[in-house]
Structure 1
Amino acid sequence: MKHTPTIRAELDRYLQQEGLNIAQFGQIAGMNRGIISAIVTGNKSMSINQLDRITEAMGLPEGHFYDLFIENYIIDHPPNMRRIEPFLFRCAELDKLDAIRRVVGAIMDNLLYSPKLFEIAEELLAQGRNAAALLLYERVAEAEKYQHSERLAVCQYRIFTIQVGDDQSRNLKAATLFEPYIERLDEMDQLDALKDLANVYRSLRKWDKVEEVARIMRAKAEIQYILKHEQKSRERNESTKKLTRPLFVYISYADLLCASVYEAQGDYQQALQYTYAYANLDWVKETDEDTQHWIGLFKHWAKANVIVNKLLSGDTKMLQDYVEYIDTAEDTTEEDRVIQLLNIMIAANRYDIDVSNIIKRFEADMVSLSQHSSSDMYTQQVVPDYFAWCGYELAHYYLHRSFYDDGFKHLMYSMVSYHTLNNETYFINCMGLFLHFRDHAVPETKAAFLNLIEKVWMNNVKKNGTVDHRG
């Protein structure tokens, strides 16, 4: 039978080795000698705070005894959440995810601990300790998979939001796995979940899914809006406070999403109808500051998108209107700038318009073309795709006009971005554009291109393995 060492044996050995008595060690550790004595003799268990003090006093790195703590005080013991909870938070602080895995695995046979672990996960998420929170959400979801509970649905929502990242193929998988749980969420949580799901599908350019999710979100939001103003109950108003945006926004944002779907499909007339719909917000009953802020945003977006839809449909005279709009627009963000430049470049490439002078206005923004970190699903997902797409359109424009240095610079940026996003379709588009103009690339650019292709190839080999053709 394997003998498991104990922390108290390690401490006792250290005291003998260093020639320290309990009182002396207690002074070093800042602990009462009685507590040290009780720990050494085995008459008292210890808290994680006491363990950290003992570890520091022994000159050992933080968390040195955590595996032993699990063995000595958690595994094969009745779960004591007063001991386990602070231990989990401390493990999260030190990024000791394996220790969290062991603890949760040891106690999650009993569903009674699901609510507490869920609470801990929520607190860890609020602290930004996403990796640790994800472990707890996954175990709670696993334990409750046959319960069809709202908690299970919330866990799946949290797992989805944590897992969504740079890799678009993984994002598609995360969205597909999460979607069936939306109906089990609280009515208000459903609206934010649908908004986040739509934004992920939008970044993936899965336009049929964007439209499907947007229509569901609009229908649910309309029902909630009617109920809110019919009942005017405190309970109904309190429930809407859970939302990240005013309730009317989910109705109007659904129209905006549908407009983007039809724009992407080249149906500019239908896109304009939806754009006019979210521009007209006279039906909104609220008048508070937050509402006015969002109404202003929708009107701002609508004004720009009416011009853009007319421009992309072939009315090239609208380009000057768009430039004037850009020059007079207030509170323009970096995200706005890249979308504006993208729209201009799509029109320029589609209708062979010389926009060299216009591009110069965006030079400062082009220097800072980069991906953004954000907790908002739109900024986190849709905007990086626009940056990569903008790089491709700029490359297309410059290469077809024989400005090869600028063209290849933007093309390499776009290729790297699409590789980061793991978007194979658009990465291949970039490859095709490069190969079409390869005779105009300088040796350094060709070398950079080949190095990137080799890197992508090696990554795919590592990810997918190799096939042994012997036999």
Structure 2
Amino acid sequence: MSPATTIRAEIINHLERFGHSFSSFGQATGINKGVISAILNKNPPKPISVRQIDLITKALGFEEGALYDLFVEECFANEKPNGRRIGSFLIRCSELGKEDTIAQVLNRLMENLTYLTLVFSLAEKLYTSGQTKESIIYYKCVAEHERYQHSERLAISQYRIFRASIGLDAERNMEVALQFALYCKRLPESYQLDALSQISNIYYAMNKWDKVEQYTDELIVLSNIVLQSEKRRTIGKRPIEHLITEKPLVYYYGYGYLLKGVVLEHQGRYEEGMAAVSLYADLSWIDGLDQQGRVWMEKFQMWAVANTYTLQILMGNVSILPEYTQLLQDNPKEVLPGLSTIIKSANQHGFLVDDILEKFKDAIQGYQRDLLSKLCNGYEDVFNRLRYANLCYQIAIYQFDNKKYREGMKFIFQSLTIYANINKKKEIIDSMSLFEKYRSCALQEELEEYDIIIKRGCNNEISEISGGYINSCY
């Protein structure tokens, strides 16, 4: 007996077992008795809709979606399957998490590649409604079966997969970025702007400054081109379609130069970094700023002030510390990167910042609670974890240099734990090396805590690279 017949057999069996007539079963399901008769008796039988199979399933006492595997044959009963009905069915399967059924339907659909348009439209519908996870199986289907490697549809599908694949594992993120990079320039400009910023962020998290610079330069060039195109659109006589982007254009322009400044900072090219900062300090000249655009303009203005202080501090200008500290107090979201800069500069130039650490003690403890208590659930993004781990590492160096070994041990353990959680292998080794440098100053309970961190390995990342450090604990 075919699956399509089985659905009808289930209904007939239910009618016989409970003594239902078409009329009484119609009342139980909420389906007109004439429709039920046509589904069961008409030759050929009337097709069952997704809504009807849900109502029938409920009336039969089964859980939602229990008959969906059988319903697949119903969808493909005709020589030319109904795209609208299959689309509704797939969306319903996505709502119920029926991935095996979805895969079964997609495999059948791909026997005729004209249905690829339907699959892509379903993916976009799910994605734009916030159902990112549910959309990926459809995008992967498009990516696997698209015949034209330079098609926009393929590039967008690969972009969506790329975005959904970004997680807390920095090494894994870099692999994902490398796989996607081939498709970046095939995207429409509206998607390409965001893709370039995302790729830059991933390499930023891995301290791959040459790659950050490469993609940042591309972002700067493209954002300038788009801004010029938008300007021509507003003053020209011929109508040009307005570019719709995920964020306002002012964001991509400003962010490109902000990242450029960060690259120059990490390359020690502080004067050039100051020049880059000046390019996003005042973005009021950009035409067509709406409310959201003005919000970003003000953010970049504030970041320009903060990053000017950052560069001056790194050049050893300690006279601005009171002003910089006040800026951080007035802008709590800047405390994490700002403190890292101050402590790093103190370590490089040998000045004391005990008063600043005391002033921001509660903020540091707050980050510790928020991040260390949520290491396993993805609550905070990788950048906040990275910044906090960097701060802990710099504080550990500072405290060790000033012979405050208990504080140093506390912070080096925190940095080691978080670096392992986001899979930053080089930084894990740096943290372990710093501990080994001061091992002789550790108390017995600190040695034991270090052993626990190493053996636990935070998903085995530490134990894979620890080498001789574990043996040296004994």
Residues 410 and 51 (structure 1 numbering): CA distance in 2 closer, same or farther, change over 3 Å? farther
- In structure 1, distance between residues paired with 2:336 and 2:206: 18
Work out the number of aligned pairs and report it: 453
Gap regions ≥5 residues in structure 1: 374-378, 464-471
Q: Could you tell me which residue of structure 2 aligns to residue 89 of structure 1?
A: 91
Residues 451 and 235 (structure 1 numbering): CA distance in 2 closer, same or farther, change over 3 Å? farther
Please state if 1:343 is matched with 2:341: yes
Q: How does 1:304-319 map to 2 (within 5 A)?
A: 304-319=306-321
- In structure 1, distance between residues paired with 2:16 and 2:54: 20
- Equivalent position to 2:242, from 239, 264, 275: 239
Percent identical residues? 34
Residues 24 and 420 (structure 1 numbering): CA distance in 2 closer, same or farther, change over 3 Å? farther
- In structure 2, distance between residues paired with 1:213 and 1:75: 50
- In structure 1, distance between residues paired with 2:444 and 2:315: 40
SS at 1:279's partner residue?
Answer: coil
Q: How does 1:34-183 map to 2 (within 5 A)?
A: 34-41=34-41, 43-74=45-76, 78-183=80-185
SS at 1:244's partner residue?
Answer: coil
**Quick check: 1:137–1:155 contact (8 Å CA) kept in 2?**
yes
**Quick check: 2:3–2:73 contact (8 Å CA) kept in 1?**
no
- In structure 1, distance between residues paired with 2:78 and 2:446: 62
After TM superposition, the structure 1 stretch with the greater mean CA deviation from structure 2, 57-66 or 7-16, is 7-16
**Quick check: 1:275–1:302 contact (8 Å CA) kept in 2?**
yes
Residues 237 and 445 (structure 1 numbering): CA distance in 2 closer, same or farther, change over 3 Å? farther
**Quick check: 2:184–2:196 contact (8 Å CA) kept in 1?**
yes
Residues 364 and 20 (structure 1 numbering): CA distance in 2 closer, same or farther, change over 3 Å? farther
Q: How does 1:426-465 map to 2 (within 5 A)?
A: 426-441=427-442, 445-456=446-457, 459=460
Residues 450 and 237 (structure 1 numbering): CA distance in 2 closer, same or farther, change over 3 Å? farther
Offset of 1:287 from its aligned partner?
5.8
**Quick check: 1:121–1:133 contact (8 Å CA) kept in 2?**
yes
- In structure 2, distance between residues paired with 1:396 and 1:77: 72
- In structure 2, distance between residues paired with 1:73 and 1:98: 16
- In structure 2, distance between residues paired with 1:203 and 1:64: 45
After TM superposition, the structure 1 stretch with the greater mean CA deviation from structure 2, 100-109 or 387-396, is 387-396
Q: Could you tell me which residue of structure 1 aligns to residue 361 of structure 2?
A: 363
1:120-140 residue CA offsets vs partner (Å, 9 max, x unmatched): 111111232222211111111
SS at 2:207's partner residue?
Answer: coil
Q: TM-score, structure 2 length as denominator?
A: 0.85
Residues 37 and 345 (structure 1 numbering): CA distance in 2 closer, same or farther, change over 3 Å? farther
- In structure 1, distance between residues paired with 2:238 and 2:385: 39
> Which residue identity does 2:383 align to in structure 1?
V
After TM superposition, the structure 1 stretch with the greater mean CA deviation from structure 2, 37-46 or 115-124, is 37-46
Residues 224 and 458 (structure 1 numbering): CA distance in 2 closer, same or farther, change over 3 Å? closer
- In structure 2, distance between residues paired with 1:104 and 1:245: 33
- In structure 2, distance between residues paired with 1:89 and 1:79: 16
Alignment RMSD: 3.1
**Quick check: 1:228–1:236 contact (8 Å CA) kept in 2?**
no
- In structure 1, distance between residues paired with 2:72 and 2:462: 38
Residues 284 and 127 (structure 1 numbering): CA distance in 2 closer, same or farther, change over 3 Å? closer
- In structure 2, distance between residues paired with 1:235 and 1:456: 62
Q: How does 1:24-43 map to 2 (within 5 A)?
A: 24-41=24-41, 43=45
Gap regions ≥5 residues in structure 2: 375-379, 465-474
Offset of 1:405 from its aligned partner?
4.7
After TM superposition, the structure 1 stretch with the greater mean CA deviation from structure 2, 282-291 or 176-185, is 282-291
> Which residue identity does 2:399 align to in structure 1?
Y
1:217-246 residue CA offsets vs partner (Å, 9 max, x unmatched): 212222222233234248776423x12344
Q: Could you tell me which residue of structure 2 aligns to residue 13 of structure 1?
A: 13
- In structure 2, distance between residues paired with 1:461 and 1:263: 29
After TM superposition, the structure 1 stretch with the greater mean CA deviation from structure 2, 404-413 or 132-141, is 404-413
Offset of 1:58 from its aligned partner?
2.1
SS at 2:242's partner residue?
Answer: helix
Residues 457 and 251 (structure 1 numbering): CA distance in 2 closer, same or farther, change over 3 Å? closer
- In structure 2, distance between residues paired with 1:434 and 1:5: 70
- In structure 1, distance between residues paired with 2:4 and 2:277: 68
Q: Could you tell me which residue of structure 2 aligns to residue 264 of structure 1?
A: 266
**Quick check: 1:165–1:171 contact (8 Å CA) kept in 2?**
yes
Offset of 1:79 from its aligned partner?
2.8
Q: Could you tell me which residue of structure 2 aligns to residue 467 of structure 1?
A: none
Offset of 1:343 from its aligned partner?
1.5
Please state if 1:390 is matched with 2:391: yes
Offset of 1:289 from its aligned partner?
4.1
- In structure 2, distance between residues paired with 1:168 and 1:75: 47
> Which residue identity does 1:166 align to in structure 2?
L
> Which residue identity does 2:348 align to in structure 1?
R
SS at 1:200's partner residue?
Answer: helix
**Quick check: 2:250–2:297 contact (8 Å CA) kept in 1?**
no
After TM superposition, the structure 1 stretch with the greater mean CA deviation from structure 2, 315-324 or 447-456, is 447-456
> Which residue identity does 1:10 align to in structure 2?
E
- In structure 2, distance between residues paired with 1:395 and 1:308: 20
Q: TM-score, structure 1 length as denominator?
A: 0.85
- In structure 2, distance between residues paired with 1:3 and 1:322: 71
**Quick check: 1:92–1:129 contact (8 Å CA) kept in 2?**
no
- Equivalent position to 1:203, from 205, 216, 228: 205
**Quick check: 1:75–1:106 contact (8 Å CA) kept in 2?**
no
- In structure 1, distance between residues paired with 2:422 and 2:124: 28
Q: How does 1:218-297 map to 2 (within 5 A)?
A: 218-231=220-233, 232-233=235-236, 238-240=241-243, 242-281=244-283, 283-286=285-288, 288-297=290-299
- In structure 2, distance between residues paired with 1:333 and 1:458: 32
Residues 283 and 29 (structure 1 numbering): CA distance in 2 closer, same or farther, change over 3 Å? closer
- In structure 2, distance between residues paired with 1:448 and 1:22: 72
Residues 143 and 3 (structure 1 numbering): CA distance in 2 closer, same or farther, change over 3 Å? closer
Residues 14 and 382 (structure 1 numbering): CA distance in 2 closer, same or farther, change over 3 Å? same
Offset of 1:172 from its aligned partner?
0.8
**Quick check: 2:419–2:425 contact (8 Å CA) kept in 1?**
yes
